[in-house]
Each structure stands twice: as structure tokens, then as C-alpha cells.
């Protein structure tokens, strides 16, 4: 069996081979590509004899999947799967698994890094301090006592809610189904519009689907308090970033912390959010800690081993 890793997994090759050793077990061939390409013809050549593909967040189009005549499984080193043509996978009976849970703590920690940076003006005051300035003219606000609105209480959203409670926040949440454990800890579930109306901090932790795309739109952004902030460490297209840029420019909310966009960085210089000084932008780093990269590689090959043994896991 041929296992092809189509893009770098952000850890040294020797570590990948060590993690994969039990799966490969001397019986299967492991091919690692250390460059990331969007060239469809190159990708078709790389996947043509693959039985199993491993990707992270690279776009995997249907025409590439269709060209892999021997392909039986795709193990995605990522939580979201909207970058893979699942329709074609289903048509070809290709099993798809993801690396659910590998970055739960990592993303939750970044969300609070952005929140605290905005509340305390850390990023801008770093530059001010280096230029001989003081805190004068720059607000400072506690996280303690704030209303934290969590949209989506899956694994990451649940962790964010729990950390918010530990910080002394009043936590409200929106999700299709309510988490009884969070309710027992003091989280209150409310309607989506109420999240935007009542929260001092709105943080998004939904998967990207047809029903969630653009869920944070101009109308909902206009419901937010003037001194509130928006955090997105989930998926970029959940938010209408053009509308967000306008809201920020007009001073209708206090700020935003954005790690994900409707495209992967680098962003074009004309991208609207780049022009706003009320926003902290990071180039999709939420998932990317060293520890998380090791965790996801382990899950990827555990998924493959489970499938080979007839016990698939993390199936999409």
C-alpha cells in the first residue's frame, strides 16, 4: 500500500517517519512531499498511485481526487474539511477522516491571547513604548466580569467557555444543541442575536458549512455594543470581513482579533482589514503550535492504522 503525504506537516521528516513507523510496519510505502503546490497537474502525478493521501489544509479538488484511481482513504491533518471535495469522495467511496482535537487547547489559548491583547492594547503599546511614549490615551480594560459570548460549543468552543469562566467572565453561548456540562458550570445558552446584543466579547468557534458561511454578517455586527470586540479563530468565511472592516472603520465596535480569512495568507495589500487600526491580525496560527503539530501527526497515522485494521476513526 502506498501512503502519500501531499504537503509538509510542519515537523521534521524524521519525526514523521518515527510516528508513522507503526502504521507503515515495513509493509507499506510512505512518500513525503516537502513542498506545497497548487498545480493540479503536479498533484495528479503525485496521487496517481496512492492508496492513502495525507493533507493538512491544502485545497484538494475533485479533479485531483478523480485522477487517483487507487485511492481508498484520505487522512486530513486538520479539523476542518471544507477544503476537500467531499462529494467526489463519497461518489468514489473514499473514506475521509480528520484530526479532530489536535488543536483544541492551541486555538482556545490564541483566542484569549487576542482578547487580552485588545483589552489591554498590548500590540499598539509595544510600539508606543519603543518610541518613548506612555500609556496615556490608551484604554485598559479587565477581562474579569465581562460577558463572553461563545458561538459554537464543540470541543474548542467548550474549552473557550471553560477558560472564560476561570477568568471570571459571565459566559453565554449559542449552539444547535446545548452542552449540559457547560450549563452545570454556569454557561447560559441564548439565541444567536442575543449573543451579539449582550456580549462584550464575541468569539466564533463554528465549523464552515453551507449554513454557517457568512453567519457573522453586517446585520449581526450592527447588533454589537460599541465597546465590544469580535474574535475569529475558526474559519474565515464565517465572517463577512468587508462588513467587519466597515464596522471597525465607523467605530461601531471597539476592535477585532482575526486569525482566519476568506483566503490563506499572505493577504493582498488592498485587503480591507489591513487598513484598520482597531484590529489585530495573525496569519492563521491558531492550530500551529509545535505541540499541536506532533499531536496531529499522531492522529493522522492512528487514523490510517485504524482504517487498515478495519476500525476507522474520526470519520467525516
User: DSSP of 7-45, one letter per residue?
Assistant: S--SS-HHHHHHHHHHHHTTTSEEEE--S----HHHHHH
- Choosing from 109, 178, 264, 276, the catalytic residue is 264
Active-site annotation holds for 264: yes
Nearest-angstrom CA–CA distance, 82 and 270: 26
Give me 51's grid cell. 492508496
Active-site annotation holds for 250: no
- Choosing from 235, 295, 296, 302, the catalytic residue is 235
User: DSSP of 145-157, one letter per residue?
Assistant: TPEEEEE--SHHH
Omega within 30 of 0 (cis) for the link into 177: no
Contact 50, 30 (CB under 8 A): no
Q: Which residues pair with 54 in a beta bridge?
A: 5, 75
Active-site annotation holds for 235: yes
Q: How wide is the angle at C-alpha 248 spanned by C-alphas 244 and 254, nearest 5°?
A: 115
Nearest-angstrom CA–CA distance, 262 and 42: 25
Contact 194, 222 (CB under 8 A): no
Q: Which residues pair with 84 in a beta bridge?
A: 60
By annotation, the residues acting in catalysis are 235, 264, 284
Amino acid at each position: 500500500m502506498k501512503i502519500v503525504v501531499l504537503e509538509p506537516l510542519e515537523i521534521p521528516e524524521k519525526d514523521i517517519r518515527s510516528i508513522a513507523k507503526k502504521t507503515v510496519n515495513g509493509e507499506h510505502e510512505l512518500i513525503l512531499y516537502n513542498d506545497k503546490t497548487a498545480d493540479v497537474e503536479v498533484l495528479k502525478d503525485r496521487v496517481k498511485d496512492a492508496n492513502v493521501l495525507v493533507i493538512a489544509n491544502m485545497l484538494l479538488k475533485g479533479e485531483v481526487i478523480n485522477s487517483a484511481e487507487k485511492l481508498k482513504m484520505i487522512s486530513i491533518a486538520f479539523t476542518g474539511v471544507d477544503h476537500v471535495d467531499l462529494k467526489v469522495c463519497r461518489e468514489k467511496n473514499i473514506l475521509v477522516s480528520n484530526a479532530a482535537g489536535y488543536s483544541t487547547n492551541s486555538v482556545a489559548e490564541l483566542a484569549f491571547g487576542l482578547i487580552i491583547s485588545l483589552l489591554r492594547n498590548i500590540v499598539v503599546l509595544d510600539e508606543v513604548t519603543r518610541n518613548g511614549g506612555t500609556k496615556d490615551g490608551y484604554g485598559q480594560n479587565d477581562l474579569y466580569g465581562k460577558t463572553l459570548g461563545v458561538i459554537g460549543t464543540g470541543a474548542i468552543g467548550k474549552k473557550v467557555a471553560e477558560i472564560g469562566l476561570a477568568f471570571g467572565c459571565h459566559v453565554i453561548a449559542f449552539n444547535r444543541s446545548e452542552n449540559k456540562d457547560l450549563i452545570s458550570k454556569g454557561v447560559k445558552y441564548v439565541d444567536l442575536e442575543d449573543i451579539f446584543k449582550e456580549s462584550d466579547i464575541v468569539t466564533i468557534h463554528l465549523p464552515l458549512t453551507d449554513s454557517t458561511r457568512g453567519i457573522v454578517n453586517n446585520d449581526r455586527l450592527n447588533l454589537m455594543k460599541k465597546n465590544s470586540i469580535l474574535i475569529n479563530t475558526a474559519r474565515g468565511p464565517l465572517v463577512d470581513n468587508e462588513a467587519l472592516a466597515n464596522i471597525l472603520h465607523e467605530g461601531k465596535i471597539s476592535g477585532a482579533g482575526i486569525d482566519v480569512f476568506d483566503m490563506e495568507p499572505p493577504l493582498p495589500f488592498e485587503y480591507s482589514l489591513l487598513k484598520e487600526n482597531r484590529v489585530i491580525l495573525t496569519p492563521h496560527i491558531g492550530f500551529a503550535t509545535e505541540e499541536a503539530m506532533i499531536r496531529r501527526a499522531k492522529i493522522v497515522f492512528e487514523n490510517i492504522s485504524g482504517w487498515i485494521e478495519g476500525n476507522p476513526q474520526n470519520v467525516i
